[in-house]
Chains A and B, each alone.
Chain A
Amino acid sequence: MDWSHPPKQIEGLEVNQLADGYVIYEANRDRVHYLNHTAVLVLEMCNGQVAADEIPGLIGQAFDLAEPPAAEVAECLDKLRDEGLIR
C-alpha cells in the first residue's frame, strides 16, 4: 500500500447511521455496504486531503489509543478499496 497517497472516497455515497454501524448506499453501482463505526471514521478521513500514513494517528487520537493502529487501518483501507468505496 502506498502510505503517502491520500485516499479519496468515491462520489455518490449515501451514509445511513444505525445503532451498531452504518449502511452505505453506493448509487453508481447500486450496492449496499455495511460498515462498523471505525470503518466509517476511516472512510470519512478519505477525503483526498489526508495521506494514508496520517490516518492511524488520527484514529489513535479519536479513540485515545496508546499506539496508532497502523495494521488495522491498513486492513480497513484495503477492504474499502476492495469494495470500491475509495480510490
Chain B
Amino acid sequence: MIQGGLKKKSKPNSEIPSSSLADMAFLLLIFFMVSTTFPKEQPRRLPFPEAEQTKKVDEPRKNFLHVYLEKDGSVFINDRLVPMEEVSSVVAPLYEETDRKLVISLRADRDVPYRWVDLVQKEFQEARAVRVTFYTNLEQRVTRERR
C-alpha cells in the first residue's frame, strides 16, 4: 500500500439493474393497449364447418360484416335478430358505408339446412354485397383421415 500508491479497490455490483424494468414493462403495456381492438359485437359460439382450404382473408377489419346464421334459420347481425326478408335492407346501408368494399363473413352453423343459406345469399345479392366468405375452421388432414 505504501510503496504502490493508492490502488482503487473495484467493488463489483452484485445487483441486476432494475431501474429500467418499469420503463420496459410500460412500453410493452402501452403497445398492447394500443394494438388491442375490442369487437363491437358479442361473438356467437356456433359449431362452424371445417374446410382444408380455409384461408385468411386479407381485408381491413372495418370492411367486414359478420352475419350469423343459426340452425333454426335465424339471422343475427350486430347482436340483433334480423328477420330473413329484412337482411338485405340491413346490409345495403352498411355496404354503402364501406364504399362498396363490404365483405360478408357468413358464420353459419354447420348443420343448418341449405335452404336458409340459399335465402340469406339471395338477400346479400339483393343488397349488392356479393363478396362473401363462408367462415370455416381449418380442417387438419390427420383428423380427417382418422374419421
Partners in one complex: no
